């Protein structure tokens, strides 16, 4: 077994070293975000009259290629009955791209929409905005999120900055669209026979929020409605323009950028306006190839992949002096943030200082905890090498200080900002408000942060009060069955891996009753082939939903968690997990291609081309280092 493991590690090392880019980064394939961004791109380009026929044609072909035999589209392979939002988006995108509604595949799509309840059953607010902007879904008579929300002071019970940062960059253009209610129709597009009532929008609003709107709690004394609208519009524009990245995108998200362009069009901006042309250029930079078709990523994962790969290679035995590691370090150093972002508003520091890392190549103002700890792991070994060692050490210290200033008051860590988890925001209208509108502490991010603090910064729960608080928070959020829920990966396997590796890294005993309960849960959910697999459905129903087959990344997470908590010799179940990884490493089937990254439950999941390489390498390396040094 030891020789097979080493051979598998060597294989992965060689594949990763040979795929590094000239700038030191890794750009392994792409992140698949399903069909929503492709459909939105087609709707935007065609409705705006932006003449890119080859691009639209290729996006159309990919959308068609992803249609299931039953006429529907799905956001993950095993989704029962199809996904209504994705199917409606794709159906109209294909018409806007020139496909006739009478085409057989369009007839099947229309039948699938009808079988899923029709447009009135769509539960995605983003889908409704996307379709309403192009005249395929009626706007509501009144929209209960007025632009005046942007004008409320931060002392108000509800104000714009109580929402998460990723909600805000989508809400600003959505509020403009909801106010202006454009309908950029094309004459050849046939609407579906029955349109839902405009009241269907109210399904996204809690009754208490509607009462707040009706009671005029968003009005500002002394300002008339036209003045509120004018000032709110300016505030929304300023908010968006101040958050444009160098590539022209809004916060590096294609979804937010496309909403912004539609909102600017609704305000009368010409498509030749420099802001729009730069935004379209930024969107085009997100295009990539998928099996011969063009697809649009919602963002890129270059920083994330580079940091994870560099660290995994080091754990696998590649020295810090290796040119690939040093080149990756140079790239990561160039991507450390030097500007203050919105995170500064709640940072636990008298004088907030930038020092984090973001997810994508062009992200300069929106750092996050996961990328920061990933980058810090990758840079750790470089702090003592050569004349640049001090530079890396300084960068690591700034990154650590930023990370510590982001710990939430409850002891955990969120994704982007500190203490952005207001209970009152959870009934504001965004799909799954708890998942989108707020940015709470999560077991996966808290566990990953503890893993860094324990294994790489030398901190323990016994000696560090803030580490103790984080460990206690993790114990308090464990599910009754012993697992933990992961917000940014699928899902309970991801969260349990992060929690167990984090707790053991900061010195918690593997014999702790709650740790043993988690270990027992992992053994219970192992598949007969030795691997582990979990459906994206877990994210929607909020309970573990097994896959009938195993995936590489989820098996690697489970094996790594068991490695962290196992003393002595590995168990037979762990050996079977190793065998599954080694058997499937070179395959490119469902074990490698199932989406195991999470975005928005029931709507957006991500498949990373890199995950089938990174996580098996890390798991096998940690297993070898512990049991067969």
How far apart, in Å, are the Cα atoms of 557 and each of 522, 533, 550? 10, 10, 12
482's CB contacts (< 8 A; 6+ apart) are: 496, 514, 517, 518, 519, 520, 521
What is the C-alpha separation between 357 and 375, in angstroms, rounded? Answer: 7
What is the C-alpha separation between 485 and 544, in angstroms, rounded? Answer: 9
Of residues 368, 370, 444, 451, which has the active-site annotation? 370
Q: Is 370 a catalytic residue?
A: yes
94's CB contacts (< 8 A; 6+ apart) are: 42, 60, 63, 64, 106, 109
In sequence order, which ranges of 387-441 are alpha helices (DSSP H)?
389-405, 433-436
Dihedral angle over CA of 282, 62, 547, 486, nearest 10: 10
What is the C-alpha separation between 597 and 534, in angstroms, rounded? Answer: 11
What is the C-alpha separation between 560 and 294, in angstroms, rounded? Answer: 35
What is the C-alpha separation between 228 and 175, in angstroms, rounded? Answer: 13
The region, left, alpha or beta by phi > 0 then psi within -120 to 50, assigned to residue 268 is left
Would you call 539 exposed, middle or buried from its count of C-beta atoms within 10 A (0-12, 13-18, 19+)?
Answer: buried
What is the C-alpha separation between 117 and 144, in angstroms, rounded? Answer: 25
Q: Which two tokens stand for residue 47?
A: 């409705």
What is the C-alpha separation between 473 and 445, in angstroms, rounded? Answer: 12
Task: Tell me the backbone φ, ψ of residue 66, rounded to 5 degrees.
Answer: -90, -5
List residues with catalytic annotation. 370
């Amino acid at each position: 077994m030891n020789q097979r493991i080493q051979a598998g590690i060597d294989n992965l090392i060689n594949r990763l070293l040979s795929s590094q880019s000239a700038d030191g980064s890794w750009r392994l394939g792409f992140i698949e975000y399903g069909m929503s961004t492709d459909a939105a791109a087609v709707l935007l380009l065609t409705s705006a009259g932006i003449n890119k026929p080859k691009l639209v044609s290729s996006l159309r072909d990919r959308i068609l290629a992803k249609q299931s035999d039953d006429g529907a589209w799905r956001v993950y392979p095993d989704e029962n009955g199809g996904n209504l939002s994705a199917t409606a988006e794709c159906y109209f995108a294909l018409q806007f791209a020139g496909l006739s509604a009478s085409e057989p595949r369009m007839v099947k799509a229309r039948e699938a929409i009808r079988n899923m309840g029709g447009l009135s059953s769509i539960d995605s607010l983003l889908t409704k905005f996307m379709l309403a902007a192009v005249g395929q879904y009626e706007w509501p008579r009144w929209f209960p999120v007025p632009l005046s929300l942007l004008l409320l002071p931060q002392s108000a019970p509800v104000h714009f900055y109580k929402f998460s940062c990723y909600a805000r960059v989508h809400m600003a253009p959505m509020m403009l669209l909801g106010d202006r209610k454009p309908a950029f129709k094309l004459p050849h597009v046939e609407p579906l026979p029955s349109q839902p009532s405009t009241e269907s929008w109210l399904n996204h609003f809690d009754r208490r929020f509607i009462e707040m709107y009706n009671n005029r709690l968003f009005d500002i004394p002394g300002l008339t409605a036209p003045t509120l609208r004018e000032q709110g519009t300016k505030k929304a524009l300023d908010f968006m323009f101040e958050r444009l990245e160098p590539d022209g995108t809004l916060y590096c998200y294609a979804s937010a950028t496309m909403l912004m362009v539609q909102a600017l069009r609704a305000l009368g901006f010409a498509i030749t306006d420099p802001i729009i042309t730069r935004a379209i250029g930024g969107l085009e930079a997100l295009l990539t190839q998928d099996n011969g078709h063009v697809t649009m990523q919602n963002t890129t994962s270059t920083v994330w992949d580079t940091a994870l790969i560099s660290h995994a290679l080091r754990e696998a035995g590649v020295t810090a002096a290796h040119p690939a590691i040093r080149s990756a370090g140079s790239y990561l150093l160039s991507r450390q943030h030097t500007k203050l972002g919105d995170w500064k508003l709640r940072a636990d520091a008298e004088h907030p200082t930038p020092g984090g890392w973001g997810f994508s190549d062009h992200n300069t103002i929106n750092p996050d905890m996961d990328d920061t700890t990933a980058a810090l792991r990758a840079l750790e070994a470089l702090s003592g090498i050569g004349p640049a060692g001090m530079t890396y050490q300084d960068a690591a210290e700034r990154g650590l200080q930023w990370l510590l200033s982001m710990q939430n008051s409850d002891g955990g860590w969120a994704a982007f900002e500190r203490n952005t988890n207001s209970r009152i925001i959870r009934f504001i209208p965004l799909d799954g408000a708890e998942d989108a509108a707020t940015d709470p502490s999560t077991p996966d991010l808290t566990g990953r942060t503890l893993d860094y603090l324990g294994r790489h910064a030398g901190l323990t729960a016994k000696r560090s009060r803030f580490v103790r608080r984080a460990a206690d928070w993790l114990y308090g959020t464990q599910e009754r069955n012993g697992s933990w829920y992961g917000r940014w990966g699928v899902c309970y396997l991801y969260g349990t891996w992060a929690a167990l590796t984090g707790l053991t890294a900061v010195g918690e005993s593997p014999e702790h009753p709650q740790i043993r309960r988690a270990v027992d849960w992992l053994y219970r959910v192992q598949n007969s082939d030795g691997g582990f697999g979990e459906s994206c459905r877990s994210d929607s129903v909020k309970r573990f939903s097994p896959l009938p087959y195993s995936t590489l990344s989820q098996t690697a997470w489970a094996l790594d968690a068991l490695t962290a908590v196992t003393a002595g010799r590995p168990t037979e179940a762990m050996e079977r997990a190793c065998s599954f990884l080694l058997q499937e490493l070179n395959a490119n089937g469902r074990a490698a291609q199932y989406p195991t990254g999470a975005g928005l439950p029931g709507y957006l999941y991500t498949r990373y081309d890199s995950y089938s390489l990174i996580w098996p390498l890390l798991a096998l390396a940690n297993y070898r280092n512990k049991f067969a040094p």
